[in-house]
Amino acid sequence: MSARSFAYLATAAVLLALVALAFAVGRYPISLGELATVLASFVVDSPHDLAPNVETIVLQVRGPRVLAALLVGAALAGAGTAYQGMFRNPLVSPDILGVSTGAALGAVLAIFLSLGVLGIQLFAFAGGLAAVGMVYSVGSRLRGHDPLLALVLTGVVLGTLLGSAIALLKYLADPYNQLPAITFWLLGSLAAIAPGDLAIAAPFALAGLVPLLLLRWRMNLLALPDDEARALGVNTRRLRAIVVAAATLMTAAAVALSGIIGWVGLLVPHAARLLVGPDFGRLLPLAMLIGAAFLLAVDLLCRTLATIEIPPGVLTSLVGTPVFLWLFAVSRRTW
């Protein structure tokens, strides 16, 4: 077996083990047998003799949370992988064009307007898309510069502007009800995911994921200098626009679901690249698998380490910082 297929098999095995563990562990432990019974009866719609709260925990509480962790992790890692290649820069994360800041502004505005959970999600999703749409339309009009640099700089500048809008809303918000809700949202969490939330976010995330998977080989060309990629027959403007649109859909759907969880989209692509090299055909699916497993593990720790839930963003940066520095030290020029 080649090292590459081993990397895939090992990741898939770890992912499966984590899924089983995530269903089993918690304040109300569930055995693998019970899990299998509930899932089997859910699939074939047959009755079982377990306590009803077992079924509720599996299907209503842990199931949506596990699926959300998998979806958000895969989406962030996939978008990060696409962006790092496209921007030819291993320090790029999915928020480089302002999707997270835009989503945060949308969510904060929805909280400020006292909208419900669905309103917050929709505003966050729309805010993420609008921010990237704005960055892209301004950045791609700045001709006569390196197109990638123009995009990144526009993203930074507009991101700062959106950040001030968030600060203003926090300043104006009701300090007893709204401000804690804003702070909680900005920290990110998978605790309050309901099955309905997933049903809304998943189609958008998949709508971004599928084109990236289809274009996975061609995306390699974006890692070349622009002139070369075009001379090899690629319409780089169009391909970049598709990649940005797909990555933005995925990230915005993920952020609307979970709030801002940093580091996944920055860290996971490196780990995957160390295992299978830079070819997107192999890299992208593996990065998505690792991202799903990583966020599932993080969320598992978040809800079991302490009596209160730890925000996943805090844990990812706690894990991410040393691992990132270590990856950098060992990988030298192999990104």
Minimum distance from residue 298 beta carbon to other proteins (Å)? 27
In angstroms, the CA 108 to CA 101 distance is: 10
The residue type found at 27 is R
DSSP 117-181: HHHHHHHHHHHHHHHHHHHHHHHTT-TTS-HHHHHHHHHHHHHHHHHHHHHHHHHHS-TTTHHHH
Question: Where does this chain touch other proteins (CB under 8 A) — which range of 39-47, 176-184, 303-311, 327-335?
Answer: 327-335
Q: How far is CA 86 from the centre of its chain?
A: 17
Question: Where does this chain touch other proteins (CB under 8 A) — which range of 36-44, 65-73, 134-142, 223-231?
Answer: 223-231
Q: Residue 227 interacts with other proteins (CB under 8 A)?
A: yes
Q: Residue 137 interacts with other proteins (CB under 8 A)?
A: no
Nearer to other proteins, 170 or 218 (CB): 218
Q: How far is CA 95 from the centre of its chain?
A: 10
CB atoms within 10 A of CB 314: 15
Q: Residue 230 interacts with other proteins (CB under 8 A)?
A: yes
Residue list 160-179, contact with other proteins (CB under 8 A): none
Question: Where does this chain touch other proteins (CB under 8 A) — which range of 120-128, 149-157, 216-224, 289-297?
Answer: 216-224
- Structure tokens belonging to residue 28: 């109300």
Question: Where does this chain touch other proteins (CB under 8 A) — which range of 5-13, 107-115, 126-134, 226-234?
Answer: 226-234
Query: 225 in the Ramachandran plot: left (φ > 0), alpha (ψ -120 to 50) or beta?
Result: beta
Q: Residue 328 interacts with other proteins (CB under 8 A)?
A: no
Minimum distance from residue 330 beta carbon to other proteins (Å)? 13
Indicate the helix (H) or strand (E) that contains 268.
Answer: helix 264-276
Nearer to other proteins, 85 or 312 (CB): 85
Summarize the chain as % helix, strand, coil (round to 5). Answer: 80, 0, 20
Question: Which of 225, 321, 325, 326 contacts other proteins by CB under 8 A?
Answer: 225
∠ CA 210-212-214, rounded to 5°: 70
Q: Residue 220 interacts with other proteins (CB under 8 A)?
A: yes
Nearer to other proteins, 6 or 145 (CB): 145
Binding site for other proteins (CB under 8 A): 85, 88-89, 143-144, 214-218, 220-221, 223-225, 227-228, 230-235, 273, 277-279, 281, 333-335
